[in-house]
Chains A and B, each alone.
Chain A
Amino acid sequence: MLVRVKIPVALLAYTENKPELRIQARTVDELLRNLDERFPGLSAFIMNENGELRRYVNIFVNEGDIRSGDGLITPLKEGDLVSIVPAVAGG
Chain B
Amino acid sequence: MAKKRKSEVNVLLGTRKGAFILQSGVRRNVWRIKGPFLRGASVFHMSFDKRDRKTIYAAVNSGHFGPTVQMSRDFGRTWANAEKPPRFPENSGLNVENVWHIEPGRSDEPDVVYAGVDPAALFRSSDGGNSWELNENLNNHPTRSKWMPGAGGLCLHSIVLDPSHLKRMYVGISSVGVFKSEDAGKTWDLKNKNVRADFAPVKYPEFGQCVHKLVMDPKKPCSLYQQNHCGVYRSEDAAESWVEITEGLPSQFGFPLAIHPHDSDRFYVVPEEGDFFRATPNRQFAVYETQNAGRTWARRSKGLPARGSYLGCFREGMATDELDPAGVYVGTRMGHVFYSADEGKTWRLLTQWLPPIHSVSTATIT
Taking chain A's interface residues, is the majority helix, strand, or loop, or is none over half, making it mixed? Answer: loop
Taking chain B's interface residues, is the majority helix, strand, or loop, or is none over half, making it mixed? Answer: loop
21 contacts between A and B (CB under 8 A): A10-B40, A10-B64, A13-B79, A14-B81, A41-B68, A41-B81, A41-B82, A41-B83, A41-B84, A41-B85, A44-B84, A45-B65, A46-B65, A48-B96, A49-B88, A49-B89, A49-B92, A49-B96, A50-B93, A54-B65, A56-B63
Given the interface contacts A44-B66, A57-B64, A86-B64, does A51 sit within 8 Å of B90 by beta carbon?
yes
A40 to B82, CA, bound (A): 8
Interface size on B, residues (CB 8 A): 23
Listed in ascending order, the chain A residues whose CB lies under 8 Å from chain B are: 10-11, 13-14, 40-41, 44-46, 48-51, 54, 56-57, 86-87, 89
Given the interface contacts A41-B81, A41-B82, does A49 sit within 8 Å of B65 by beta carbon?
no
Chain A neighbourhood of B83, CB < 8 A: 40-41
Chain A neighbourhood of B96, CB < 8 A: 48-49
- In the complex, B95 has a CB within 8 A of chain A: yes
A77 to B65, CA, bound (A): 26
- In the complex, B62 has a CB within 8 A of chain A: yes
Name, among A50, A54, A56, A86, the residue most crowded by chain B CB atoms within 10 Å (CB to CB): A50
- In the complex, B91 has a CB within 8 A of chain A: yes
Identity of the chain B residue whose Cβ is nearest the Cβ of A49 in the assembled complex: B87
- In contact, B90 and A57 (Cβ under 8 angstroms): no
- In contact, B68 and A45 (Cβ under 8 angstroms): yes
The minimal Cβ–Cβ distance linking A81 to chain B, given in whole angstroms, is 21
